[in-house]
Every structure is written in structure tokens, then in C-alpha cells.
Amino acid sequence: SQTSSFGVGTRINHDSSKFYNSKIYAGSNNTYFAQDIEIPIPPENINKVFCKSSEQMTELPDNSVHLMVTSPPYNVGKDYDKNLSMNEYRGLLTKVFKETYRVLVPGGRACVNIANLGRKPYLPIHSYVIEDMQKLGFLMRGEVIWNKASSASQSFAWGSWLSATNPTLRDIHEYILIFSKDGFGRKKPEGRQPTITKEEFMEYTKSIWNFSAERASRIGHPAPFPIDLPYRLIQLYTFEDEVILDPFVGSGTTCIAALKTKRRYVGYDNDQKYCELAERRIEEYLQSQNTLFNQQHENSSQHMIATGI
């Protein structure tokens, strides 16, 4: 069915060509499948955290990464932040995301977790990121609102109490901005399988995600995101054994999510302390998986002995 004046009750077999051919979409790139190009990354550069700036990711060839997931520094005085002007901050992100564009395969996705800042005035950082990404050639796919209400600490920064003098909104959300390179779709690579379940797909394709934030004290990093965030994006946008990039790797959560979903990773951070933290957490995760495997193998062997198999 074609788009009607009042919409339709179902999206199955929905013909939206009239809408996408309308004037509001004139000049937009609506390429579905991007070119099928993929350059292998040298094996010595896979599953590694590079302690250097991601402004130049020389370890990665063009068209080699399938998904970028990151949460850039917010430039708000955290101990890893630099005190940059807004133009300098946007310039830094633009350099990194330009490199991201280079290394992504055609059709690859870039996902940026970002929060807006301040109140006097409010700084819509997410809109600046969208503007700069589109200037680089990225196609915007959509945005997810991450609702952190369940873990939000009680805030009293509501401005004028019970008065219209100057009430202030208290943020309990962040954004996950989602972009593609060259086209919106990717052809399924031969031999690679999706790992997402039906239940996950139904939940992760919603534009509002509800899960708790991660405690900085538990991770040892001022602004960690929970593993749920990269896990969902990896499951939704990649196939098994593909490469996930985090150019601001921080505590290494994206890398752990990649391993958890049977993907490979590359991370960058220019702070030695956090590179070491990421590598330590990755090693702890791998050791926990080895321990689990050994326990399962031992239990299986004992069962076989007990049953005479």
C-alpha cells in the first residue's frame, strides 16, 4: 500500500516511494546498497588498543571497519578532557570522524553517544555532531534516545522551585546518533551470520532505549557507558566476526561488547592510564570466559563419567 494521508496500520509491504520522491527529499542521497568493498586489516592490528590519537588511524586501511561505536569526551572538565573552545572541540571530533569515514566499509555505520550540555545557554552538542557528520558525507539513519531515568541520581538543579521565574529541565537522557557511509544498506557477506535474536531485534529497533547508566566508581573511568549500549548497536548493525572501532575507547567497554558478540575490535585512546584500564578489563573478561569454558568442560566430563557415556 502507498503512503496515505493518515498513514497506514501496518508497515509490511509499505510503498513509501511517493514520500521519498517528494520535494522535501529532493537532492538527498537515498542509495540503498553501497558498493561491496572490504580491505582486510593486518592481523597484528586486530583486537588491539592503540595508545595514540585517533585523528590519524594509520593502522587501519580504507574500507576495513564495519561499525564505529563511541562516546567522545564531553569537554566539561573531566580529568581526561582538554579545555577546548567549541570550535576546537568540533574540530577535534571532525578530524576523528573524517578518519572514521575513511576506514568504514561502504554501508558501514557510525554510532555516536553524546549528551547536551549547560543551561546558560543550553548547548545542543548532538545537533552540532549531526551537522558536522553530514558535512563529512555521512548519511543519517536516525537517533536513539537513551533514557537513563532508572539510574539517574536525584538532581536538585531545577532552577526556580515551584515558580515560572526560571525553572530548569533536568536531563535524564542522552543521544545515540546513527549514520551510514555511502548507502543505507549492506549486502550480507558470504559466510557471516547475524547473531541478533528476534526479541532483541524487536527491542533494539525502537527509538527509545531504557537501561541504567554505568557507575564511574565501579569501572574506574569518569564517564563509562554501560555494555548494553555497544552490545545493542553491534548486534543490530553487524554480522559475526566483523570489526568494531571505538576511536575514544576509554575503559574498553566497546571492545568487551565486541568479544561478547564474537566480533573483533580496534580501539584508540591517547591517555595511557585509560589504555591500560581498557586492556586490563579486556584481559579480565577473556580470563572469565576461559574459566567458564573450563568449568563447563569439567561438568560435561563428570556427567559423561557418571552416566557411563
Q: Tell me the residue type at 220.
A: G
Which pLDDT score is estimated for 182?
94
Alpha carbon 59 to chain centroid, angstroms: 21
232-233-236 Cα angle (round to 5):
85
CATH topology of domain 38-151+166-307: Rossmann fold (3.40.50)
| 44 contacts: CB under 8 Å, gap ≥ 6 | none
Which pLDDT score is estimated for 127?
97
Asked if 227 contacts 282 with a C-beta cutoff of 8 angstroms, the reply is: no
User: In whole angstroms, what is the distance from residue 161 CA to residue 240 CA?
Assistant: 52
Q: What are 29's three cell numbers?
A: 542521497
Which pLDDT score is estimated for 68?
98
Domain coordinates of the chain in residue numbers? 38-151+166-307
Q: What are 296's three cell numbers?
A: 563447563
Asked if 257 contacts 227 with a C-beta cutoff of 8 angstroms, the reply is: yes
Output the tens digit of pLDDT for each of the chain's 309 residues: 555 555 555 555 666 777 777 777 777 777 777 788 999 999 999 999 999 999 999 999 999 999 999 999 876 444 445 788 899 999 999 999 999 999 999 999 999 999 998 888 989 999 999 999 999 999 999 999 999 887 655 667 788 889 999 888 888 899 999 999 999 999 899 999 999 999 999 999 999 999 988 665 555 555 567 899 999 999 999 999 999 999 999 989 999 999 999 999 999 999 999 999 999 999 999 998 876 545 554 554 444 455 555
User: In whole angstroms, what is the distance from residue 40 CA to residue 64 CA?
Assistant: 6
186: three-class secondary structure by DSSP: coil
